[in-house]
Structure 1
Amino acid sequence: MNSLKQALRDRQFVCVMEFVPKPQRFAAFEQLMQRGHLCGWPMLAGIADRVGSNLDLSPLDTFTALSTPVPVMPHFSGKDRERQDLLAQLERMDRLGLDQLLLLTGDRLHGHEPGQRPVRYLESVAALGIARRARPDWLLGAALNPFKYCEEEGGAQYFKAQKKLAAGADFLILQLGFDMARYRDAMHWMQRQPTPRPMLACIMGLTHGRAKMLEHVAGVTVSPSMLALVAAEEAVSKVHAQARSVDRLALQIIGLQRMGYAGINLSGVHDIAQLLALEQALDAWREKIRTDEEWALAWARSWQLPGVPAVTFNPPESDWKAGESRVSATPKEKLRYHLLSTLHSTLFNRTTLLSRAFAWTVRRPLWSTQAGQRWLHRLERGVKRPLVGCDTCGSCRLEDTLYICPETCPKGLANGPCGGTRLNRCEFGDRECIHSIKYRTAKSVGQTAVLTQRLIPCVEVEGRQRSSWPEWFAVGAEQAASAMAADLSPDQPR
């Protein structure tokens, strides 16, 4: 049994060492992994996928390039990927004897700008469903970003996390963060789920250099007061700043373990010397800390320095707290929903006289010809693009997304947001995240269950750029036929 599955089963705290494949780091990383543990906690490698670019060495190529095999958990990023890419990785993992996988949607493709050719993302909810059906016994994980400070983006994150659990996630790894109140919120949320799953926390020691870098990483919050503190530490000396960073990291790990986290996903530790320094700090603090109150006091002090303003972890613009509920859709957003919902019920519910007439029209043999398909595609696009921004994906999901088209998301995400938003703004920065709009709308019209319970499959590449109408009504006909067959079954009373 792999070390992560064993540790989660035995409820043993575990350390996943995140490795972003870079040729110059291989030797140091292999030496680090040979130690096998941090403070007695088992270690395994989490090999990142497409963090730098699509040309990065893949997690599986990285695994085969290691001179000494180590326990690993490959990542799979859905960035610029389709279903067949995931299935190909599953098959290769079978050949390598690997059976645990972290499934992520992926961040913005480097260099990609709004308005350019769409980059397709196999989002994590759909990927989890594909992987779970293909490999029922594997250990599958997904991500959650609780470090959100507006209600819409925070609520939408938890809505999507519910879908990830329903789609087959065995555990969640939180995105990188420093706000321990948000870690506590995430743990309380998980404990309220019908079947709670283990959670790991992604952490990194914060120095001034890393803080400046993380300011540009989508979904990671480094507040101005945090930046001021680490800058003041570095002004004393680099040695002083590094020691403070390691101390804070050790305290964070202790706090997370006390909260009930199953382990850590440790980023930014690249060699054995850094690992041993962290272990030394952990041993020292574990000797001193016996209660939650002692930990809270030590954690607060680790973010203090004479002459430096008090640190707050939220952006200055907002400090929404989990559980607070204040927002509602605008009158325009509510009107838009009701109008499109009425239109859908009239033309597409498959039961009214008008919808059956429309179904009969779009399923005529004329539309099956090459020319007919082309004209029907143009007609659908011409009608729906001004209304919802339709890109004719060939598999319309508007009923499941409160009539906000997923194709208007730069990543084409249908099941919920990625982790890269900041204060409701899309990672691309040119728009409000459509999933924040969906959250507000769902809350205002009593449709939040749509955003937590409907698992939307991925759009197949071969179906794009064609009309969705014939398929929509064909599915309805198949469902009606199945229901009729069940009604007429000899095993059923008549």
Structure 2
Amino acid sequence: MSLLKSALDTNAFACILEFVPKPSAARFATLATLMARQQLCGWPMTVAIGDRVGSALDLSPLDAFTSLQQPVPALLHFSGKDRERRDLLAQLQHMDAAGLDQLLLLTGDRLPGHTPGQRPVRYLESVAALQIARQARPHWLLAAALNPFKYREAEGGAQYFKAEKKLAAGADLLILQLGFDMAKHQEALDWMQRQPQPKPLMACIMALTDGRAAMLEQVAGVTVTPSMRALLAAEAAVSKQYAKERGNHRLALQVIGLRLMGYAGVHLSGIHDVEQFEALEQAITALQPLHQDLDSWALAWLDAWQQPGTAPVTFHPPGQDWRLGQRQISASTKEKARYHLLSAMHHQLFSRSTALSKAFGWAVTRPLWANPTAAQWLHQLERRIKRPLVGCDTCGSCRLEDTLYICPETCPKGLANGPCGGTRLDRCEFGDRECVHSAKYRLAVGVGRAEVLVERLIPCVQVEGRQRSSWPGWFAPKGAEPVREGQVVLEE
């Protein structure tokens, strides 16, 4: 049994030390020194090896692990950006060979150079990746991410809906996005405890200074507010050393607070040298006896975010402070009318129960469509009809019924099961549009179909089936041989 799985099974607080595998001998030597300690304040420690975090020059998590001189307990990351199902299956096989059996599955942030409308970049989203990995490796420890640091209902509600799907798809553990709003940490924990089968939660945290805050403002999904920046700048103005000590003090307090709340552990980011690690351990050791309950800790946490001459710090964006359970939105009349119209059209053409749908199904499942020329004609027909209506990109496996007729291909990452963690106040990580999953959540609430966004786990689209008509596969009898174009299977 892995060290992390053992800690989770015994309710032992655990520490995951994040490592971004840049090709640097010094970084690997520091990691080896830190992991030789095996513990942080007596808590078992595992290394998490990031995947496609920085530049294309970063090593893969597996290559980084196998290059270590001494094996260490490791949680590999798998980012789905610019990857397909086959890439995940290949990684599972390589991990078997290396003796690894735990994986953190992430959709991944924006791939550098990915501009919507130009070269399409496919993302293997985390829900589908969890389904694939759980089926292929039933006994592995599988982790996924949750970003509760959302301050509008649509993006926040959609995050929690997707997290329910991740649990249903097989996640054993959820790790929160980097965040500093402890009220949101409590919100996520309360949400998890209400689930039918609660799983452990861990939180990603980092010592925050003014320089790091400036960097994090460019990281999708991380919230650093103007009042936080003002305090950090005031600390930096005193001295660099003072700011560093204050950041470490807050980090130690955050570890203590999360443990008191009931978190299973912490995912430590931004610790790159032994001095930082030792300073954190010393601060936790000094502070922990002083804060044995959440009331005492909460006063210290508030005090740690105060600095003479600065305004009180708030962790939510100005004017935005949604909390789970609050109802703040509703769909417009136009949005609801569009949904009902498309739903009625779908029923008539694709329900397999109306006379029109039976006739249409018979027509598109004729052997004629196995001919490459005829299949291409059918593909173009579907695209020309559906693209103006819903933005269809003819993925070959239509999922509109499961996404309330908001096409997942209109998401720059092609996500069908819900949003990534990179939204900010309902805006897409790419910055040029509203997140389609916020629009989908708003519509689901407005038409009373929220259960669709929770209960329906949508599998990934196979790359071999893209740019094909979805109609023959939709009407193919269950268990029947699917219609083929040449050697390419047109799957549902």
Normalised by the shorter chain, which TM-score bucket?
over 0.9
Q: Which residue of 1 aligns with 2:7?
A: 7
Quick one: which amino acid aligns to residue 401 of structure 1?
T
Q: Which residue of 2 aligns with 1:22?
A: 22
Give the stretch that moved more between structures: 325-334 or 203-212. Answer: 325-334
What is the aligned counterpart of 2:229 among 227, 230, 245? Answer: 227
Q: Is the 8 A contact 1:31 1:271 kept in 2?
A: no
How far, CA to CA, are the matches of 1:308 and 1:340 in structure 2?
A: 53
How far, CA to CA, are the matches of 2:267 and 2:292 in structure 1?
A: 24
How far, CA to CA, are the matches of 2:292 and 2:30 in structure 1?
A: 35
Query: What are the superposed Cα offsets for residues 250-288 of structure 1, whole Å, 9 maximum, x if unpaired?
Result: 000111001100000000011221111001100111121
Shift of 1:69: 1.1
Q: Is 1:65–2:67 an aligned residue pair?
A: yes
Quick one: which amino acid aligns to residue 15 of structure 1?
C
How far, CA to CA, are the matches of 1:477 and 1:262 in structure 2?
A: 43
Quick one: which amino acid aligns to residue 298 of structure 1?
A
Give the stretch that moved more between structures: 105-114 or 118-127. Answer: 105-114
What is the aligned counterpart of 1:181 among 157, 178, 183? Answer: 183
How far, CA to CA, are the matches of 2:314 and 2:427 in structure 1?
A: 21
Query: What are the superposed Cα offsets for residues 306-357 of structure 1, whole Å, 9 maximum, x if unpaired?
Result: 1101100011141111110120111111111001000000000011111000
What is the aligned counterpart of 2:299 among 286, 297, 300? Answer: 297
Quick one: which amino acid aligns to residue 7 of structure 1?
A
Q: Which residue of 1 aligns with 2:283?
A: 281
Q: Is the 8 A contact 2:23 2:58 kept in 1?
A: no
TM-score by length of 1: 0.96
Shift of 1:56: 2.1
Query: What are the superposed Cα offsets for residues 443-493 of structure 1, whole Å, 9 maximum, x if unpaired?
Result: 1111111000100000000000010000000046859xxxxxxxxxxxxxx
Say what the alpha-carbon RMSD is for the aligned residues: 1.1
How far, CA to CA, are the matches of 1:475 and 1:317 in structure 2?
A: 53
Shift of 1:367: 1.6
Structure 2 gap ranges (5+): 482-492
Shift of 1:53: 3.5
Shift of 1:27: 1.1
Give the stretch that moved more between structures: 452-461 or 310-319. Answer: 310-319
What is the aligned counterpart of 2:206 among 204, 207, 217? Answer: 204
How far, CA to CA, are the matches of 2:293 and 2:371 in structure 1?
A: 73
How far, CA to CA, are the matches of 1:445 and 1:477 in structure 2?
A: 34
Q: Which residue of 2 aligns with 1:352?
A: 354
How far, CA to CA, are the matches of 2:298 and 2:377 in structure 1?
A: 65
Q: Secondary structure at the match of 1:448?
A: coil
How far, CA to CA, are the matches of 1:339 and 1:477 in structure 2?
A: 31
Shift of 1:364: 1.6
Q: Is the 8 A contact 1:350 1:476 kept in 2?
A: no
Shift of 1:68: 1.4
- Report runs of 4+ in structure 1 exceeding 3 Å deviation: 475-479
Give the total of aligned pairs: 479
How far, CA to CA, are the matches of 1:357 and 1:268 in structure 2?
A: 61
Q: Is the 8 A contact 1:390 1:407 kept in 2?
A: yes
Q: Is the 8 A contact 1:145 1:219 kept in 2?
A: yes
Q: Which residue of 2 aligns with 1:77?
A: 79
Q: Is the 8 A contact 2:107 2:124 kept in 1?
A: yes
Q: Which residue of 2 aligns with 1:489?
A: none
How far, CA to CA, are the matches of 2:363 and 2:357 in structure 1?
A: 10
Structure 1 gap ranges (5+): 480-494
Q: Secondary structure at the match of 2:476?
A: helix
Quick one: which amino acid aligns to residue 2 of structure 1?
S
Give the stretch that moved more between structures: 195-204 or 55-64. Answer: 55-64
Q: Which residue of 1 aligns with 2:111?
A: 109
Q: Which residue of 2 aligns with 1:272?
A: 274
How far, CA to CA, are the matches of 1:478 and 1:449 in structure 2?
A: 30
Q: Which residue of 1 aligns with 2:431?
A: 429
What is the aligned counterpart of 1:413 among 394, 412, 415? Answer: 415
Superposition pairs of residues 88-487 of structure 1, within 5 angstroms: 88-475=90-477
How far, CA to CA, are the matches of 2:477 and 2:469 in structure 1?
A: 14
Quick one: which amino acid aligns to residue 385 of structure 1?
R
Shift of 1:114: 2.1
Quick one: which amino acid aligns to residue 17 of structure 1?
L
Q: Is the 8 A contact 2:154 2:426 kept in 1?
A: yes
Q: Is the 8 A contact 1:140 1:171 kept in 2?
A: yes
How far, CA to CA, are the matches of 1:55 and 1:243 in structure 2?
A: 32
Q: Is the 8 A contact 2:13 2:43 kept in 1?
A: yes
Q: Secondary structure at the match of 1:276?
A: helix
Q: Is the 8 A contact 2:395 2:467 kept in 1?
A: yes
Q: Secondary structure at the match of 1:23?
A: coil
How far, CA to CA, are the matches of 1:107 and 1:53 in structure 2?
A: 12
How far, CA to CA, are the matches of 1:206 and 1:475 in structure 2?
A: 57
Shift of 1:290: 2.4
How far, CA to CA, are the matches of 2:206 and 2:367 in structure 1?
A: 60
Query: What are the superposed Cα offsets for residues 382-435 of structure 1, whole Å, 9 maximum, x if unpaired?
Result: 000000000000000000000000000000000000000000000000000000
